């Protein structure tokens, strides 16, 4: 399975740390944040990783190079303007091929081995969810526990918490936060032209069709979105 790491954002909430360093290269636990993803992908058997670049992107290409140092082949998708999440993926589809692929936010840290998430034949996406962190207590999505995927234990169809509020209010199922890690099929983007586009509306449309699955990871996950959370993760890794 190939993978794409999203690394084109400006990291405005991380300033001043990101004024001269792109967020994926910020050091935590003695190495750049993005390197943890590369190491876990390589350990899971991934060979090809696509990284999209925009803001200070050439810094990332210079540091990571061809990927040989990590046992990978790294391909870069350069964006002349930031295309947002879905737009960046659409531009990179030619590099990702026809099979399902990992998509990983460059600004999260997770200790889950990056073995593939299960996708049944009808699903266009499988999102890895986590318990809601203190900075995002309301969550993003609700698992429809009445609709498990038989081929994928612990995996259920997803509903959008914000777009399907009446369903959620009638359900006792808890909401969870999207981890920023997912496995997507290229067909998810079949009806979308190139250009600037967020991933959320693409996923919501697929959810409305009952074609997005999710599962919950209870291990260690961090959204490294602010200098304070970066420092907290750094202290935590220093104790391990």
Q: How confident is the model at residue 173 (pLDDT cuts 50, 70, 90)?
A: confident
CB 123 within 8 A of CB 152: no
Domain map of the chain by residue range?
A: 3-239
Which pLDDT value is given to residue 171? 53
Mean pLDDT of 224-232: 91
Which pLDDT value is given to residue 240? 66
Considering the chain, what percentage of its residues have pLDDT values greater than 70? 94
* Superfamily in which the 3-239 domain is placed by CATH: Spore Coat Polysaccharide Biosynthesis Protein SpsA; Chain A (3.90.550.10)
pLDDT at 159 over 90: no
Spell out the long-range contacts of 225-229 with Cβ–Cβ below 8 A and sequence spacing 24 or more. Answer: 225/13, 225/14, 225/107, 225/135, 226/13, 226/14, 227/14, 227/17, 229/135
Which pLDDT value is given to residue 32? 94
Mean pLDDT of 145-157: 82
The residue that leads in pLDDT, 192 or 160, is 192
Q: How confident is the model at residue 172 (pLDDT cuts 50, 70, 90)?
A: low
Which pLDDT value is given to residue 154? 86
Cα→Cα distances 25→21, 74, 146, 233, Å: 7, 15, 42, 15
The residue that leads in pLDDT, 96 or 152, is 96
pTM: 0.92
Lowest-confidence pick of 7-21, 42-56, 76-90:
7-21
User: Using one digit for the tens of pLDDT, what is the confidence trace for 116-141?
Assistant: 898 888 899 999 999 999 988 989 99
User: Using one digit for the tens of pLDDT, what is the confidence trace for 14-50?
Assistant: 888 878 889 999 999 999 999 999 999 999 999 999 9
Which pLDDT value is given to residue 163? 56
Mean pLDDT of 94-111: 95
């Amino acid at each position: 399975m190939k993978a794409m790491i999203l690394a084109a954002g400006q990291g405005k909430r991380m300033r001043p740390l990101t004024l001269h360093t792109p967020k994926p290269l910020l050091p935590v636990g003695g190495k750049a944040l993005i390197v943890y993803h590369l190491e876990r992908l390589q350990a899971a058997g991934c060979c090809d990783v696509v990284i999209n670049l925009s803001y200070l992107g050439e810094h990332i290409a210079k540091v990571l190079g061809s990927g040989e140092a990590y046992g990978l082949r790294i391909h870069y998708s350069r964006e002349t303007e930031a295309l947002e999440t879905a737009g960046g993926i659409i531009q990179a589809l030619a590099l990702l091929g026809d099979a399902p692929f990992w998509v990983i936010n460059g600004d999260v840290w997770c200790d889950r081995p990056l073995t593939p998430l299960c996708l049944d034949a009808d699903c266009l996406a499988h999102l890895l969810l986590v318990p809601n962190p203190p900075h995002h207590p309301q969550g993003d999505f609700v698992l429809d526990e009445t609709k498990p995927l038989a081929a994928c234990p612990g995996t259920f169809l997803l509903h959008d918490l914000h777009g399907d509020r009446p369903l959620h209010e009638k359900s006792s199922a808890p909401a969870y936060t999207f981890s920023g890690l997912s496995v997507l099929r290229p067909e998810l983007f079949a009806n979308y032209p190139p250009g600037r586009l967020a991933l959320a509306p693409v996923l919501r449309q697929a959810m409305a069709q009952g074609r997005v699955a999710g599962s919950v990871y209870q291990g260690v996950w961090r959204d490294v979105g602010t200098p304070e959370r970066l420092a907290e993760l750094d202290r935590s890794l220093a104790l391990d």
